[in-house]
C-alpha cells in the first residue's frame, strides 16, 4: 500500500475539516491541544456553542507556521488525520516538554489519530504510521511519541478512548512502550509509546 503523508496547510484544510469537525460529538476540529481548557464541561460547551472558534484556532496555528498535523492519503483518497508535531507546538504537552528538555523541539507527539469512517477497523494504523515515520525523518524529528489508552481503559470506555490510536497499531509499527502516561490513572490507564527515528 502506497500512503502519502501531507502536512496540514490552507490548501488541504477542507479535508482536515471533513474529518475533525464531526468528531467528538461535533465542533471538535482537534483544537483541544492548542488552547487552555479548564474542564471537560467547558470543552463540551465550546464545541456546541462556538465550534467556529475551534476551527479558527487551528487555522491560525497553520498560518503562523506551527506543525499542527498531517493528512494520510492513498492515491487521492483521504485515509486519516493525525494531530502530530514537535512537542513544543502543542499547549497540552507542556509536562512532557519539561521532562524532555531541549530535545522537545525534535520529538514529535501524536495527540490524536482519526481514521476516515470508511477505513476504520481495517488495520491501517500501522501502515500509516510507517509512512509517518519516513515523513518524520524528512522533518528532522529524532523520535515520535504516542499516548494511547491501555486495553483495560478500552474495556471500560470503548470508543470514547479510541482517539489517540490503538496500542496494537503502534506496536505493529515498531513503537515501544516506555512508561505510563503522565495522566494515567485507575479509571483510564494509558501509556507512552515511542520510536526513535
All domains of the chain in start order, with CATH? 4-196 (3.40.630.30)
Grid coordinates given for 172: 505493529
Confidence grade of residue 1 (pLDDT, cut at 50, 70, 90):
low
Answer yes or no: is pLDDT of 167 > 80.
yes
pLDDT number for residue 46: 87
pLDDT higher for 177 or 36? 177
More confident residue, 161 or 31: 31
Instruction: Decide if pLDDT at 122 tops 80.
Output: yes
CB 80 within 8 A of CB 114: yes
For residue 157, the model assigns a pLDDT of: 84
Q: Is the pLDDT reported for residue 184 higher than 80?
A: no
**19-52 residue pLDDT tens:** 887 766 678 888 989 998 888 888 888 888 888 9
Cβ atoms of 80 and 71 within 8 Å: the answer is yes
87, 108 contact by CB (below 8 A): yes
Whether pTM > 0.85 for this model: the answer is: yes
Rounded CA-CA distance 76/73 in Å is 6
pLDDT score, position 28: 86
- Residue 22 has a pLDDT of 74
Nearest-angstrom CA–CA distance, 44 and 156: 21
- pLDDT > 70: percent of the chain: 97
Mean pLDDT value of segment 53-81 = 94
Amino acid at each position: 500500500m502506497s500512503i502519502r503523508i501531507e502536512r496540514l496547510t490552507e490548501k488541504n484544510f477542507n479535508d482536515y475539516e471533513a474529518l475533525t469537525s464531526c468528531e467528538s460529538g461535533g465542533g471538535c476540529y482537534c483544537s483541544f491541544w492548542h488552547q487552555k481548557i479548564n474542564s471537560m464541561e467547558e470543552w463540551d460547551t465550546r464545541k456546541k456553542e462556538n465550534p467556529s472558534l475551534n476551527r479558527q484556532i487551528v487555522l491560525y496555528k497553520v498560518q503562523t507556521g506551527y506543525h499542527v498535523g498531517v493528512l494520510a492519503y492513498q492515491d487521492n483518497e483521504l485515509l486519516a488525520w493525525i494531530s502530530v508535531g514537535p512537542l513544543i507546538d502543542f499547549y497540552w504537552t507542556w509536562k512532557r516538554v519539561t521532562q524532555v528538555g531541549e530535545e522537545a523541539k525534535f520529538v514529535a507527539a501524536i495527540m490524536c489519530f482519526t481514521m476516515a469512517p470508511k477505513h476504520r477497523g481495517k488495520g491501517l494504523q500501522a501502515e500509516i504510521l510507517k509512512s509517518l515515520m519516513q515523513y518524520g525523518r524528512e522533518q528532522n524529528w529524532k523520535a515520535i511519541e504516542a499516548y494511547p489508552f491501555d486495553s483495560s481503559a478500552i474495556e471500560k470506555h470503548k470508543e470514547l478512548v479510541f482517539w489517540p490510536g490503538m496500542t496494537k497499531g503502534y506496536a505493529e509499527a515498531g513503537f515501544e512502550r516506555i512508561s505510563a502516561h503522565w495522566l494515567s490513572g485507575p479509571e483510564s490507564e494509558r501509556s507512552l509509546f515511542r520510536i526513535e527515528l
